[in-house]
Amino acid sequence: MEEKKKFYITTPIYYPSGHWHIGTCYTTIICDAIARFKRMQGFDVFYLTGTDEHGQKILKVSQEAGVPVKDYIDGIVNELKDLWKLLDISYDKFIRTTDDYHEKAVAKIFQKLYDQGDIYKSSYEGWYCTPCESFWTKTQLVDGKCPDCGRDVQLMKEESYFFKMGKYQDRIIKLIEENPDFLQPPTRQNEMINNFLKPGLQDLCVSRTSFDWGVKVPFDPKHVVYVWIDALTNYITALGYGSDDDSLFKKYWPADIHMVGKEIVRFHSIIWPALLMALDIPMPKKVYGHGWLLFGNDKMSKSKGNIVDPFILCNNYGVDSLRYFMLREVSFGQDGSYTNEAFLKRINGDLCNDLSNLVSRTVAMVEQYFGGEIPAPNVKDAIDDDLIATIDSMYGEVSDNMEKLYIPEALESIWKVIRRLNKYIDETAPWALNKEGNKDRLSTVMYNLCEGIRIVATILQPFLTKSPAKIFEKLGVEDGVLTSFDGLKFGTMNPGNKVSKGENIFTRLDINKELAAMDKILEEQVAAAKAKQEAATSDNVVKVPEIGIEEFEKVQLKVGKVVECQKVEKADKLLCSKIDLGEGRLRTIVSGIAKYYTPEDMVGRSVIVVTNLKPVKLRGILSEGMVLCASDENGKLALITPSADMPAGAEVR
């Protein structure tokens, strides 16, 4: 038996952000339609997706939530899997970068690259401000101090591993220029060559030591592997590369398509090929950088006035409506917009008027004229030839478009046939044939319509996952449903099937009513988000840890009299005061109050001072305490002063 040709397609692995909106479903729905189409074409398909779970950001979020990081991510990953289930995403494997086999393989890959000299140890140099935990470059420093707090900084070198990217620059340029298919659509090639490759590739810093939520570098475990190296290698570790069983890798690699959003094309068309070159692994056949689904001008979900929650849209309007919109609306490769109105119009126009009405009209006529049984064709007419030719050429057009990843065009080729079938009803006027008693011609017309609809439903299966089955049920062809495009030829359906009317596949929506309902959902969402935020704020109040009196007593507070005050040079916010605290000497205290008080305002005032605070140097001045102020949420400051005259040094309790 001839072995099936393989087809390996991947989505990027998703950050477990938990903020799922329809934009995040875009890559996955597109890949799903391609994977299903290829399966029906007879390919042995492997469709990979998953989650990208390491890194500082997710660690921080989980810490803020007070949940162990892996437990925190597990919950989100389950939600994402539920979403893919709802959208009928037919992935063959879901990889998590926290999977044991992946972590082991990443460590092996890192070791190999190090052993062969592609990774070397060096250091990352910067000026470090310990209280702010920040690195600064020399030019960012203000008077040699931390630009944020004005304190002294130290020159620190963070030890890091680097990958010799520069070494592969010329080969990558060649790869992109000589294989126009490798990076698509073509605009992405110019972007990569001109913006990144021609200016020169720097060696890439591929390890971090400041946090440990990642794959540990095997020979130096205080380092974790840079998150993009960890993430990109998922495409091969998912197939068993670097494990004891790499049979899937041998079978499916190289990938046929890495589908990615345009913002991560650089990682996939430069860093990923460089890594593969270093590992001596063949290049993927294609990296495709699609555009964004925009909400207004925004890539993200926080748009006003539109429902972007895929769960709500699917539950209210059906999975097929959302899948259809995503596949059809945006010119593939470019950015496109989502609006509630555009979504509803696609449902009413393409899905309800064109597709659903065609099916229900046809089924109703078979019931009315032939007692529900699809008749055998009989008397032919020249008009049938045109219809049949249009139907028979559809698969060629659709598969051509799919091959080029012209996805909306592929759907358009199907809708051309749907509209042709609707027109055929008008042209043949079956009601008139019935009236004339011309059953011989009427039976041909009804057979042609049913057969056309069966073929349309067959080819729709990769795109819409619910409607084709409903159509087959209405036509009574459940047993004969094709799971491949073989036998898609017109005329292969046997007459005699029993049709059943049932419910319409799509019902016409009152757009204004739906828009109002959508607005209401949004209002409720906004109110719920507000309530959640308020609850979180009030939680915070409770969460500030209580302290005992013994701890409070450690803080010494005294009344001080400001004797002198001046601005600190080149520091807009700072005043430097000399304050009498009844100690027989004046203390120097630097305070960030210059926006609200002038030196003249300060002299002669009584203030409250924390006197036992460790002295710190601010802008080169040793500050020996802190003047207390109240501040509001906008950062407005007001000095705290005793309400009656008190001597310098009076204790505050």
Angle at which helices 467-475 and 357-370 cross, to 10°: 10
CB-based closest residue to ligand MSP: 261
Provide the mask over 262-291, with x wherever binding to ligand MSP is found by CB under 6 A and - wherever it is not. -xx---------------------------
Residue 50 touching ligand MSP (CB under 6 A): no
Q: Nearer to ligand MSP by C-beta: 13 or 176?
A: 13
Using CB under 6 A as the binding rule, the residues of this chain from 560 to 619 that contact ligand MSP are none
Measured CA to CA in angstroms, residue 478 lies from 43, 90, 355, 373, 475 at distances of 24, 21, 19, 15, 8
Q: How many CB atoms lie within 10 A of CB 171?
A: 13
Alpha carbon distance 312, 25 (integer Å) = 13
Q: For ligand MSP, which stretch binds (CB under 6 A), given 12-20, 412-420, 514-522, 596-604? A: 12-20
Shortest separation between residue 270's beta carbon and ligand MSP, angstroms: 13
List the one residue from 52, 320, 329, 350 that touches ligand MSP (CB under 6 A): 52
List the one residue from 226, 249, 288, 292 that touches ligand MSP (CB under 6 A): 292
Q: For ligand MSP, which stretch binds (CB under 6 A), given 260-268, 347-355, 413-421, 511-519? A: 260-268
Provide the mask over 226-245, with x wherever binding to ligand MSP is found by CB under 6 A and - wherever it is not. -----xx-x-----------
Residue 23 touching ligand MSP (CB under 6 A): yes
Using CB under 6 A as the binding rule, the residues of this chain from 623 to 642 that contact ligand MSP are none
Q: Nearer to ligand MSP by C-beta: 69 or 449?
A: 69
Q: Which amino acid is at 495?
A: P
Q: Nearer to ligand MSP by C-beta: 116 or 334?
A: 334
List the one residue from 55, 126, 261, 452 that touches ligand MSP (CB under 6 A): 261
Alpha carbon distance 463, 34 (integer Å) = 8
Shortest separation between residue 19's beta carbon and ligand MSP, angstroms: 9
Q: How many CB atoms lie within 10 A of CB 155?
A: 9
CA 407-345-457 angle, to 5 degrees, is 50
Q: For ligand MSP, which stretch binds (CB under 6 A), given 18-26, 133-141, 175-183, 476-484? A: 18-26
Q: Nearer to ligand MSP by C-beta: 231 or 287?
A: 231
Residue 293 touching ligand MSP (CB under 6 A): yes
Alpha carbon distance 77, 72 (integer Å) = 9
Closest CA to 401 of 387, 416, 386, 389: 416
Buried b (16+ CB within 10 A) or exposed e, 231-259: bbbbbbbbbbbbbeebebbeebbebbbbb
Distance between alpha carbon 628 and the CA centroid of its chain, in Å?
A: 45
Q: Nearer to ligand MSP by C-beta: 337 or 353?
A: 337
List the one residue from 8, 14, 252, 370 that touches ligand MSP (CB under 6 A): 14
Give me 238's structure tokens.
């998912």
Shortest separation between residue 79's beta carbon and ligand MSP, angstroms: 13
Closest CA to 448 of 383, 359, 386, 388: 388
**Which residue spans within 446-537 are E strands per DSSP?**
none
CA 344-346-350 angle, to 5 degrees, is 135
Residue 27 touching ligand MSP (CB under 6 A): yes
Residue 310 touching ligand MSP (CB under 6 A): no
Alpha carbon distance 387, 427 (integer Å) = 11
Residues interacting with ligand MSP, by CB under 6 A?
12-15, 23-24, 26-27, 52, 231-232, 234, 260-261, 263-264, 292-293, 299
